[in-house]
Amino acid sequence: MSNAGMDAEVFEQFLIQLERFVRDRLIPVERKIIETDLIPESVLEAMRDMGLFGLTIPEEHGGAGMNISQYIRTMHTLSYAMPAFRSIISINVGMFASAFKNGGTEAQKAAWLPRIAAGEIAAFGLTEPGSGSDAAGLQTTAVPTADGWLLNGTKRYITNSPFAKVGLIMARTATENLPKNAHISAFIVPLDIPGVTICKSDRKMGQSGSHIADIVLEDVHVGSEALLGGELGKGFAFAMMSLDNGRMSVGAAATAYARRALDSAIRYATERKAFGEPIANFQLIQQMLAQSEIEIYAAECMMDDVTRRADAGENILRKAAAFKVFATEMCGRVVDACVQIHGGAGYLAEYDAERFFRDARIYRIYEGTTQILQLQIAKHMLREFAAAN
């Protein structure tokens, strides 16, 4: 992402417009999405018209060309609404756009980025039944043919795969495990070609309207132009370059959703009466409200700091991981307090508190679990200490 990004004034106007869109268009359809498990096509069209599928894609390829802080602030604004809306655009503007910008050939960028910016949905295929955080266990294979590649394997928990037109699929191009995961290459696979099966959407704890499903590849033939960047063994590296941005995006989403839960708890506490007065007058309720506010503020400060550093070109691996861990764990505490403030009503599906609680749980798991990120942060701290002493 170029650090200059969109014109600052134009961007601020866009954010005001997006806030209004979230309030007037997205939040009112949430109940319908919970019932149908689908975002209405009219809402998707409105999201395409606003350019939400191309936020990070360079302007010459039809996107908005946002820098990192603009992109993360946009995700934060959008994520005040239910998670399905960020989810549907997240792969386009995250992993997919990033991998293409970092590693795509000019021909590949010209062929795919305008389509993605216009709102064709992309999927990203790394995780498998036997490997997630551990890329060395990757089993999907890509074998060279006379005029391209033959892919075989299964990808699991693939976000947006039921709606996606194209997948960026990670596959083995070497049988043995090589340093820096150079045995993995990335392939651009249209998902409507022979041999590709998209399985039934998995049923999930929360996050209605967002879908994950397995992608099964059986003797899928792609041309030689499908190899991202035209280079073997670079796929994993291209994909991992965007991990920091993905973690910041999830951190921003968790921060915004915590704010939504707190707003709902405040409203409930001022309306609900017990012992003849609003429960908001009770000090232990006030303590939960105040503690939530304190933690959300801390996450907002981390978000501002880490995105500013990212745009300045700093290595933010550790800080992006720290923000993601803090914001997602914080969101878990805030949605829990929101249920507690609602009391018995917080356990009922008719109140939003119950779904906030379920929706927020995944934030601590995807884009790096809390535990994997804690290990990564510690490893970097210890490496730095050893180098300095």
Q: What is the structure's pLDDT at 3?
A: 66
**With contact defined as beta carbons under 8 Å apart, do 330 and 299 qualify?**
yes
Q: Determine contact, residues 221/155, Cβ cutoff 8 Å.
A: no
- Rounded CA gap, 176 and 168, in Å? 22
What's at 24, amino acid-wise? D
pLDDT at 136: 81
**pLDDT of 1:** 41
> Could you list the active site residues?
367
Q: pLDDT at position 2, please?
A: 43
Instruction: With residue 89 as reference, give the H or E element that holds it.
Output: helix 84-91
Beta strands in 238-293 (DSSP E): 273-274, 277-278
For 215, the enclosing helix (H) or strand (E) is: strand 212-223
Burial of 312 (0-12, 13-18, 19+ CB in 10 A): exposed
Q: In whole angstroms, what is the distance from residue 156 CA to residue 28 CA?
A: 32
Which residues of the chain register pLDDT less than 70? 1-3, 133
Q: What is the rounded distance in angstroms from the CA atom of residue 374 to the CA atom of residue 180?
A: 21
Nearest to 32 by CA among 24, 40, 23: 40
How confident is the model at residue 27, as a pLDDT?
98
User: Regarding beta strands 122-125 and 166-172, do their DSSP bridges make them parallel or antiparallel, or are they unpaired?
Assistant: parallel
d(CA 47, CA 78): 11
Closest CA to 237 of 178, 191, 323, 281: 178
In DSSP terms, which residues pair with 128 in a beta bridge?
Answer: 131
Angle at 239 between CA 236 and CA 241, to 5 degrees: 110
Cα separation, 8 vs 65, whole angstroms: 12
> How far is Cα 80 from Cα 262, in angstroms, rounded to an integer?
11
Q: Quickly count: other Cβ atoms within 10 Å of residue 148's Cβ.
A: 16
Could you tell me which residues are beta bridge partners of residue 170? 186
Residue in the block written with tokens 């999830």: 250
How far is residue 165 from each of residues 57, 121, 187, 205, 305, measured CA to CA in Å? 17, 6, 14, 26, 36
